[in-house]
């Protein structure tokens, strides 16, 4: 019985970590997209290229 409880708690912890990781990634993607929009509006090509590269490096592959 104790082994099942430990396993359940471990699985619950992994699920919580996955939810948190997903939320953090969505937040980062949104912030980068906003910064890209600002760079485009300002005509700042260097910042746009840097942010676009960063976005491509963290964007999920699906």
Q: pLDDT band for position 2 (50/70/90)?
A: confident
Residue 11 lies in a domain: no
Q: Residue 61: helix, strand or coil by DSSP? A: coil
Residue 50 lies in a domain: yes
Domain that holds residue 28: 24-62
Which string of b and e fits 7-31 if b means at least 16 CB within 10 Å? Answer: eeeeeeeeeeeeeeeeeeeeeeeee
Instruction: Say how many domains are in the chain.
Output: 1
Q: Do the beta carbons of residue 55 and residue 36 sit within 8 Å?
A: yes
The model's pLDDT over 11-29, given as tens digits with 9 standing for 90+, comes to 999 999 999 999 999 999 9
pTM: 0.77
């Amino acid at each position: 019985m104790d082994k099942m409880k430990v396993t359940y708690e471990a699985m619950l912890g992994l699920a919580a970590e996955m939810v948190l990781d997903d939320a953090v990634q969505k937040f980062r993607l949104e912030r980068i997209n906003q910064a890209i929009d600002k760079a485009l509006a300002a005509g700042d090509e260097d910042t746009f290229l840097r942010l676009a590269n960063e976005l491509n490096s963290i964007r999920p592959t699906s």
